[in-house]
Amino acid sequence: MISGGTIFAQMLSMLLSPIITRLYTPEEFGTLSLYVSILTIIIFSTTFSYDVAIPVADDEKKAVNILSLCTIILFLSTIILTIILFFFGESLLNYFNANSLVKYKYLMPLGFFTTGFYTSLSQWTIRKKDFKSISITKYSQSITGNITKIILGYLSLGTVGLLAGQILKSGAGISTLLKPVLINDRNLIKNVSVKNIKNAAKRYMRFPLYTAPTKLLLSLSTHLPFIFISGLYSTSIVGLYSLANIITFLPTTLVSQSVGDVFLGEAASIGKNNAKRIKELYNKLLKKLILIVSVPMIILIIFGPILFAFVFGQNWYEAGVYSRILTIYMFSYFIFHPSSGVFYIFEKQNLSLFLNIINISVVLITFGAAKIFSLSSYTTVLFFSVGKSFVEIIRYFLIQKILNDSIKMEN
């Protein structure tokens, strides 16, 4: 069900992207990418990753108190972010090579809040296995975001159009997920209290201790490249790389991400006391993912630059070159990343943290070498793609080890 909504959302974005790329320049896309990157890096502080505990909480009482805790943290962190941007926004954005965002800095708290609230509510919905509601939000997010970008693009609003579309997209669907909580689960809300919130926070302390740093490192490894590319090359290159990244990882956003959510829901229901069944579920899934991703990967490798120029306009030919390079990383991410929920189910967040330390190391080494040796943007992206693939392979072996060790304990 989630996959259906995600597929529609991404296909709509894909169908409308040739219009959007002709309304905005690579440089404007680069500014949007910097906005998304910085926001995603700091988004971990919306809930300190307590939201990840919602689907796997021991019972409904603990789960609803964790949801309440996430909401409280979100409000406080949004206020703090607003204050920081008011006093130090310009200097901080310039430090991160995002000076083009300075005049749009007050849009960041809004995007921060809507993204954080949607994420917490979606985790509750996953717990309830209400995949239909999540699917509906995917529809509304895609339609709202893309139509806004097109309308404001025709009005020649430039970067404002892209940022407004992104913010409205992140907030669309919140009401759909919130309504069942307030109506169907109102009896559970009666269990919310300061004492219960404290107890739940203590019970799932491993999530802020291990999952939050892990998610931060993952965000850094994913989005720092956009910031580094801006500093090493230009905002236009960021825009080209961004489009390449979006299209290359389209199979991931179409299928792999939703499959990962469903896998987490199903595996959590099975429980960590039945590791053998979870392993069978993932191994079966892995074979299907390899078959699904092979065709788009081959197409991008052979025809990438030509397809980008034809579909998105001649200004985007170079994005096709970056896309060709990124297929190395995309393939490994697509088939291995959906199993990441195993870290949470078996409460092995420390291994996930270790994995992401390697992840961020790959990024820092790659772009550090690019600066020292004055590497071209193509060479830098190639090293980055190969390094990130290596991390995904390590992910696979770590998860297999967790499952195998658990199976031995069961026997």
* Successive 10-residue mean pLDDT values, the chain, 411 residues: 64 88 94 92 84 89 93 94 92 83 91 92 88 85 93 94 93 87 83 91 88 78 90 92 91 70 74 76 84 89 94 94 95 86 78 83 94 95 95 90 80 64
Q: What does the alpha-carbon distance between residue 65 and residue 54 come to, in Å, rounded to a whole number? A: 9
Q: Which class for 297: exposed (0-12), middle (13-18), buried (19 or more C-beta within 10 A)?
A: middle
DSSP 8-class letter at 158: T
Measured in whole angstroms, how far is the alpha carbon of residue 51 from the centre of its chain?
Answer: 14
- The structural domain count of the chain equals 2
Segments forming the whole domain that contains residue 359: 205-411
Domain shared by 147 and 293, yes or no: no
176 and 272 housed in the same domain: no
Q: How far apart are CA 298 and CA 295, in angstroms?
A: 5
Encoding tokens for residue 277? Answer: 């069944």
According to the model, what pLDDT value does residue 405 have?
Answer: 82
Q: Which of 182, 69, 62 is nearest to 127 (CA)?
A: 62
Residue 301 sits in the same domain as residue 154: no
Question: Using CA atoms, how far apart are residues 17 and 23, in angstroms rounded to an integer?
Answer: 10
Q: Which of 358, 292, 364, 367 is nearest to 331 (CA)?
A: 292
Q: Does residue 146 share a domain with residue 108?
A: yes
Same structural domain for residues 251 and 363?
yes
Q: How far is CA 244 from the centre of its chain?
A: 16
Provide CB contacts within 8 A for 175, sequence distance 6+: none
142, 219: one domain:
no
The pLDDT score that the predictor gives to residue 154 is 94
pLDDT value of position 243:
94
The model's pTM = 0.80
